[in-house]
Amino acid sequence: MKNALRKRVLVTGGAGFLGSHLCDRLLKDGHEVLCVDNFYTGTKNNIAHLLENPFFELVRHDVTFPLYIEVDEIYNLACPASPVHYQHDPVQTTKTSVHGAINMLGLAKRVRAKILQASTSEVYGDPAVHPQTESYWGNVNTIGVRSCYDEGKRCAETLFFDYYRQHKLNIKVARIFNTYGPRMLPNDGRVVSNFIVQALQGQAITVYGDGSQTRSFCYVDDLIEAFIRFMDSDDDFVGPVNLGNPGEFTILELAEKVIEMTNSKSTIEFKPLPQDDPTQRQPDISLAKERLNWQPAIKLEQGLCNTVRYFQTLLA
Protein backbone atom coordinates (compact mmCIF):
# COMPACT_ATOMS: atom_id res chain seq x y z
CA MET A 1 0.00 0.00 0.00
CA LYS A 2 1.19 3.53 -0.78
CA ASN A 3 2.43 5.52 2.19
CA ALA A 4 -0.09 8.37 2.58
CA LEU A 5 2.73 10.84 3.17
CA ARG A 6 4.79 9.61 0.25
CA LYS A 7 4.33 11.86 -2.76
CA ARG A 8 5.27 11.17 -6.39
CA VAL A 9 7.49 14.06 -7.33
CA LEU A 10 8.74 14.97 -10.79
CA VAL A 11 12.08 16.79 -11.02
CA THR A 12 12.83 18.06 -14.53
CA GLY A 13 16.55 18.69 -15.01
CA GLY A 14 17.03 16.14 -12.22
CA ALA A 15 20.45 15.01 -13.45
CA GLY A 16 21.83 18.54 -13.27
CA PHE A 17 23.62 20.31 -10.46
CA LEU A 18 20.62 21.54 -8.43
CA GLY A 19 18.25 18.82 -9.66
CA SER A 20 20.41 15.94 -8.42
CA HIS A 21 20.69 17.47 -4.93
CA LEU A 22 16.92 17.96 -4.92
CA CYS A 23 16.38 14.29 -5.90
CA ASP A 24 18.61 13.25 -2.97
CA ARG A 25 16.64 15.38 -0.54
CA LEU A 26 13.20 14.25 -1.74
CA LEU A 27 14.19 10.57 -1.49
CA LYS A 28 15.62 11.20 1.97
CA ASP A 29 12.28 12.75 2.96
CA GLY A 30 10.52 9.51 1.91
CA HIS A 31 9.09 10.52 -1.45
CA GLU A 32 9.09 8.79 -4.81
CA VAL A 33 11.12 10.67 -7.40
CA LEU A 34 10.80 10.78 -11.16
CA CYS A 35 13.87 12.39 -12.67
CA VAL A 36 13.42 13.70 -16.21
CA ASP A 37 16.48 14.91 -18.12
CA ASN A 38 17.82 15.04 -21.67
CA PHE A 39 21.44 15.18 -20.39
CA TYR A 40 22.20 18.44 -22.17
CA THR A 41 24.26 19.68 -19.21
CA GLY A 42 23.29 17.03 -16.68
CA THR A 43 25.19 13.79 -16.21
CA LYS A 44 24.43 10.28 -15.07
CA ASN A 45 27.32 10.60 -12.58
CA ASN A 46 25.19 13.03 -10.58
CA ILE A 47 22.47 10.43 -10.03
CA ALA A 48 24.37 7.12 -10.42
CA HIS A 49 24.10 6.54 -6.66
CA LEU A 50 20.29 6.68 -6.92
CA LEU A 51 19.75 4.25 -9.78
CA GLU A 52 19.37 1.20 -7.50
CA ASN A 53 16.80 2.95 -5.29
CA PRO A 54 13.33 1.45 -6.03
CA PHE A 55 11.72 4.84 -5.33
CA PHE A 56 13.86 6.58 -7.98
CA GLU A 57 13.00 6.49 -11.67
CA LEU A 58 15.04 8.04 -14.48
CA VAL A 59 13.39 9.10 -17.74
CA ARG A 60 15.42 10.44 -20.67
CA HIS A 61 13.13 13.08 -22.10
CA ASP A 62 13.30 16.57 -23.55
CA VAL A 63 10.76 18.87 -21.86
CA THR A 64 10.11 20.72 -25.11
CA PHE A 65 7.96 17.66 -25.93
CA PRO A 66 4.80 16.78 -23.98
CA LEU A 67 5.05 14.26 -21.15
CA TYR A 68 2.23 12.05 -19.90
CA ILE A 69 2.76 10.74 -16.37
CA GLU A 70 0.98 10.86 -13.01
CA VAL A 71 2.57 12.93 -10.25
CA ASP A 72 1.60 15.00 -7.19
CA GLU A 73 4.28 17.68 -7.44
CA ILE A 74 6.59 19.06 -10.14
CA TYR A 75 9.86 20.94 -9.73
CA ASN A 76 10.63 22.43 -13.15
CA LEU A 77 14.42 22.85 -13.27
CA ALA A 78 15.19 21.75 -16.84
CA CYS A 79 17.27 24.48 -18.52
CA PRO A 80 21.00 25.03 -18.89
CA ALA A 81 22.04 27.63 -16.31
CA SER A 82 25.62 28.54 -17.22
CA PRO A 83 25.97 31.42 -19.72
CA VAL A 84 28.45 29.33 -21.75
CA HIS A 85 25.95 26.48 -22.08
CA TYR A 86 22.76 28.48 -22.58
CA GLN A 87 24.43 30.60 -25.27
CA HIS A 88 25.73 27.52 -27.12
CA ASP A 89 22.28 26.79 -28.63
CA PRO A 90 20.22 29.89 -27.78
CA VAL A 91 17.14 28.85 -29.76
CA GLN A 92 16.96 25.59 -27.84
CA THR A 93 17.42 27.52 -24.57
CA THR A 94 14.34 29.66 -25.22
CA LYS A 95 12.41 26.60 -26.35
CA THR A 96 13.38 24.75 -23.18
CA SER A 97 12.14 27.58 -20.97
CA VAL A 98 8.97 28.42 -22.90
CA HIS A 99 7.84 25.12 -24.46
CA GLY A 100 9.13 23.31 -21.38
CA ALA A 101 6.98 25.53 -19.14
CA ILE A 102 3.92 25.05 -21.36
CA ASN A 103 4.35 21.27 -21.34
CA MET A 104 4.96 21.01 -17.60
CA LEU A 105 2.09 23.40 -16.80
CA GLY A 106 -0.14 21.35 -19.10
CA LEU A 107 0.88 18.21 -17.24
CA ALA A 108 0.24 19.92 -13.87
CA LYS A 109 -3.19 21.02 -15.08
CA ARG A 110 -4.14 17.54 -16.29
CA VAL A 111 -3.16 15.77 -13.06
CA ARG A 112 -3.80 18.78 -10.74
CA ALA A 113 -0.20 18.72 -9.47
CA LYS A 114 1.49 21.54 -7.60
CA ILE A 115 4.30 23.00 -9.72
CA LEU A 116 7.41 25.00 -8.80
CA GLN A 117 9.37 26.97 -11.38
CA ALA A 118 13.13 27.48 -11.07
CA SER A 119 13.23 31.09 -12.22
CA THR A 120 16.26 33.28 -11.86
CA SER A 121 17.73 36.59 -10.72
CA GLU A 122 18.41 37.11 -14.44
CA VAL A 123 14.79 38.29 -14.77
CA TYR A 124 16.15 41.52 -13.18
CA GLY A 125 18.76 41.81 -15.97
CA ASP A 126 21.40 44.45 -15.18
CA PRO A 127 19.47 45.79 -12.19
CA ALA A 128 18.98 49.50 -11.57
CA VAL A 129 17.57 48.70 -8.10
CA HIS A 130 19.93 47.33 -5.47
CA PRO A 131 19.48 44.98 -3.66
CA GLN A 132 16.78 43.41 -5.83
CA THR A 133 13.29 43.04 -4.39
CA GLU A 134 10.56 40.95 -6.01
CA SER A 135 8.60 44.11 -6.85
CA TYR A 136 11.36 45.31 -9.21
CA TRP A 137 10.46 44.63 -12.86
CA GLY A 138 14.02 44.45 -14.12
CA ASN A 139 16.25 45.89 -16.80
CA VAL A 140 16.64 43.24 -19.48
CA ASN A 141 18.00 43.57 -23.03
CA THR A 142 15.57 41.72 -25.34
CA ILE A 143 18.11 41.18 -28.16
CA GLY A 144 21.45 40.46 -26.49
CA VAL A 145 23.37 37.21 -26.06
CA ARG A 146 21.86 36.59 -22.60
CA SER A 147 18.29 37.26 -23.78
CA CYS A 148 17.58 33.65 -24.78
CA TYR A 149 17.87 32.75 -21.10
CA ASP A 150 16.54 35.93 -19.48
CA GLU A 151 13.52 36.36 -21.72
CA GLY A 152 12.81 32.62 -21.77
CA LYS A 153 12.68 32.64 -17.98
CA ARG A 154 10.57 35.82 -17.92
CA CYS A 155 8.09 34.31 -20.36
CA ALA A 156 7.96 31.14 -18.23
CA GLU A 157 7.03 33.28 -15.20
CA THR A 158 4.24 34.86 -17.28
CA LEU A 159 2.94 31.41 -18.25
CA PHE A 160 3.00 30.27 -14.62
CA PHE A 161 0.95 33.27 -13.48
CA ASP A 162 -1.52 32.95 -16.37
CA TYR A 163 -2.09 29.27 -15.56
CA TYR A 164 -2.56 30.33 -11.94
CA ARG A 165 -5.16 32.99 -12.81
CA GLN A 166 -6.83 31.20 -15.72
CA HIS A 167 -6.72 27.56 -14.59
CA LYS A 168 -6.41 28.00 -10.81
CA LEU A 169 -3.22 25.97 -10.82
CA ASN A 170 -1.22 25.65 -7.62
CA ILE A 171 2.05 27.38 -8.60
CA LYS A 172 5.30 28.46 -6.91
CA VAL A 173 7.81 30.74 -8.65
CA ALA A 174 11.33 30.89 -7.13
CA ARG A 175 13.89 33.45 -8.34
CA ILE A 176 17.20 31.77 -7.68
CA PHE A 177 20.38 33.82 -7.26
CA ASN A 178 23.86 32.40 -8.02
CA THR A 179 24.11 29.02 -6.32
CA TYR A 180 27.22 26.82 -6.17
CA GLY A 181 28.46 23.57 -4.71
CA PRO A 182 29.51 20.00 -5.46
CA ARG A 183 28.32 18.47 -8.79
CA MET A 184 28.80 21.61 -10.84
CA LEU A 185 30.58 20.50 -13.99
CA PRO A 186 34.34 21.24 -14.06
CA ASN A 187 33.79 22.80 -17.51
CA ASP A 188 30.52 24.41 -16.44
CA GLY A 189 31.79 27.92 -17.22
CA ARG A 190 30.24 29.50 -14.14
CA VAL A 191 32.52 31.53 -11.95
CA VAL A 192 32.85 29.40 -8.79
CA SER A 193 33.63 26.15 -10.60
CA ASN A 194 35.91 27.93 -13.09
CA PHE A 195 37.98 29.59 -10.36
CA ILE A 196 38.28 26.46 -8.20
CA VAL A 197 39.28 24.23 -11.11
CA GLN A 198 41.79 26.82 -12.36
CA ALA A 199 43.26 27.24 -8.86
CA LEU A 200 43.57 23.50 -8.30
CA GLN A 201 45.23 23.01 -11.68
CA GLY A 202 47.59 25.97 -11.25
CA GLN A 203 46.12 27.73 -14.28
CA ALA A 204 45.56 31.49 -14.43
CA ILE A 205 42.30 32.59 -12.80
CA THR A 206 40.21 34.22 -15.55
CA VAL A 207 38.57 37.36 -14.18
CA TYR A 208 36.27 38.96 -16.75
CA GLY A 209 36.41 42.76 -16.89
CA ASP A 210 38.15 44.43 -13.93
CA GLY A 211 36.43 42.08 -11.48
CA SER A 212 34.46 44.89 -9.81
CA GLN A 213 31.10 43.36 -10.77
CA THR A 214 29.37 41.71 -7.82
CA ARG A 215 27.45 38.50 -7.19
CA SER A 216 25.96 36.93 -4.05
CA PHE A 217 26.67 33.21 -3.69
CA CYS A 218 24.34 30.69 -2.06
CA TYR A 219 25.47 27.19 -1.11
CA VAL A 220 23.39 24.41 -2.67
CA ASP A 221 22.14 22.86 0.62
CA ASP A 222 20.63 26.19 1.70
CA LEU A 223 18.84 26.54 -1.63
CA ILE A 224 17.40 23.01 -1.55
CA GLU A 225 16.02 23.67 1.95
CA ALA A 226 14.29 26.78 0.57
CA PHE A 227 12.82 24.79 -2.36
CA ILE A 228 11.26 22.26 0.03
CA ARG A 229 9.88 24.96 2.35
CA PHE A 230 8.45 26.87 -0.60
CA MET A 231 6.75 23.80 -2.09
CA ASP A 232 5.24 23.02 1.33
CA SER A 233 4.18 26.62 2.03
CA ASP A 234 0.56 27.86 2.08
CA ASP A 235 -1.23 27.65 -1.28
CA ASP A 236 -1.78 31.42 -1.28
CA PHE A 237 1.99 32.01 -1.30
CA VAL A 238 2.88 31.63 -4.96
CA GLY A 239 5.84 34.03 -5.18
CA PRO A 240 7.79 35.17 -7.00
CA VAL A 241 10.22 34.87 -4.13
CA ASN A 242 13.96 35.58 -4.16
CA LEU A 243 16.08 32.66 -2.96
CA GLY A 244 19.76 33.36 -2.46
CA ASN A 245 22.43 34.48 -0.04
CA PRO A 246 22.63 38.25 0.47
CA GLY A 247 26.40 38.13 1.13
CA GLU A 248 27.73 40.19 -1.82
CA PHE A 249 31.30 39.95 -3.17
CA THR A 250 33.16 41.37 -6.13
CA ILE A 251 34.42 38.75 -8.59
CA LEU A 252 37.98 39.87 -7.81
CA GLU A 253 37.37 39.19 -4.10
CA LEU A 254 36.09 35.74 -4.99
CA ALA A 255 39.22 35.04 -7.07
CA GLU A 256 41.47 36.08 -4.19
CA LYS A 257 39.48 33.98 -1.70
CA VAL A 258 39.71 30.88 -3.89
CA ILE A 259 43.48 31.33 -4.39
CA GLU A 260 43.95 31.70 -0.64
CA MET A 261 41.77 28.72 0.28
CA THR A 262 43.45 26.38 -2.18
CA ASN A 263 46.99 27.63 -1.43
CA SER A 264 47.29 28.00 -5.19
CA LYS A 265 50.16 29.60 -7.10
CA SER A 266 47.72 30.70 -9.80
CA THR A 267 47.90 34.29 -10.99
CA ILE A 268 44.92 36.42 -12.00
CA GLU A 269 44.40 37.07 -15.71
CA PHE A 270 41.95 39.79 -16.75
CA LYS A 271 39.81 38.98 -19.80
CA PRO A 272 37.17 41.00 -21.68
CA LEU A 273 33.82 41.35 -19.94
CA PRO A 274 31.09 39.40 -21.77
CA GLN A 275 28.22 41.40 -23.31
CA ASP A 276 25.42 42.43 -20.91
CA ASP A 277 27.21 41.01 -17.86
CA PRO A 278 25.24 42.44 -14.89
CA THR A 279 27.32 44.89 -12.84
CA GLN A 280 25.78 44.04 -9.47
CA ARG A 281 23.47 41.46 -7.94
CA GLN A 282 22.23 40.92 -4.41
CA PRO A 283 18.93 39.43 -3.31
CA ASP A 284 16.62 41.11 -0.83
CA ILE A 285 15.31 38.00 0.94
CA SER A 286 12.88 39.66 3.37
CA LEU A 287 9.94 37.88 1.75
CA ALA A 288 11.53 34.41 2.02
CA LYS A 289 12.43 35.14 5.65
CA GLU A 290 8.89 36.17 6.45
CA ARG A 291 6.92 33.54 4.51
CA LEU A 292 9.27 30.56 4.57
CA ASN A 293 11.10 31.30 7.82
CA TRP A 294 14.22 30.68 5.76
CA GLN A 295 17.62 32.25 5.41
CA PRO A 296 20.94 30.78 4.31
CA ALA A 297 23.01 29.21 7.08
CA ILE A 298 26.21 28.31 5.23
CA LYS A 299 28.94 30.95 4.98
CA LEU A 300 30.90 31.40 1.75
CA GLU A 301 34.12 30.00 3.29
CA GLN A 302 32.38 26.80 4.43
CA GLY A 303 30.57 26.32 1.12
CA LEU A 304 33.74 26.98 -0.88
CA CYS A 305 35.65 24.53 1.31
CA ASN A 306 33.11 21.73 0.55
CA THR A 307 33.20 22.58 -3.14
CA VAL A 308 37.01 22.64 -3.27
CA ARG A 309 37.05 19.19 -1.64
CA TYR A 310 34.60 17.89 -4.25
CA PHE A 311 36.72 19.13 -7.16
CA GLN A 312 39.94 17.85 -5.53
CA THR A 313 38.45 14.34 -5.53
CA LEU A 314 36.96 14.69 -9.00
CA LEU A 315 40.19 15.94 -10.59
CA ALA A 316 42.48 13.52 -8.72
Q: Which is nearer to ligand UDP, 113 or 254 (CB)?
A: 254
25-45 burial string, b = 16+ CB within 10 Å, else e? Answer: bbbeeebbbbbbbbebbbeee
Q: Residue 15 binds which one of ligand NAD, ligand UDP, none, with CB within 5 to 8 A depending on kind?
A: ligand NAD
Cβ proximity of 192 and 307 under 8 Å: yes
According to DSSP, residue 143 is labeled: S
The single residue among 96, 132, 147, 216 that binds ligand NAD, judged by CB under 6 A, is 96
CB neighbours of 288 closer than 8 A, spacing ≥ 6? 226, 230, 241, 242, 243, 294, 295
Q: How far is the CB of 190 from ligand UDP (least distance, A)?
A: 3
Q: How far is the CB of 234 from ligand NAD (least distance, A)?
A: 23
Cβ proximity of 64 and 99 under 8 Å: yes
Helix axes 300-315, 251-262, angle to 10 degrees: 60
Cβ proximity of 157 and 105 under 8 Å: no
Q: Residue 215 binds which one of ligand UDP, ligand NAD, none, with CB within 5 to 8 A depending on kind?
A: ligand UDP
The single residue among 147, 178, 198, 262 that binds ligand NAD, judged by CB under 6 A, is 178
Q: Mark residues 135-174: x for contact with ligand NAD by CB under 6 A, - for none.
A: ----------------------------------------
Cβ proximity of 172 and 239 under 8 Å: yes
**Residue 149 designated active-site:** yes
Interaction of residue 182 with ligand NAD, rule CB under 6 A: no
| Residue of 40, 75, 124, 149 with catalytic role | 149
8 three-state secondary structure: strand
Interaction of residue 23 with ligand NAD, rule CB under 6 A: no
Residues at the contact surface with ligand NAD, assessed by CB under 6 A: 12-13, 15-19, 37-42, 62-64, 77-81, 96, 100, 118, 120, 176, 178-179
List active site positions.
149
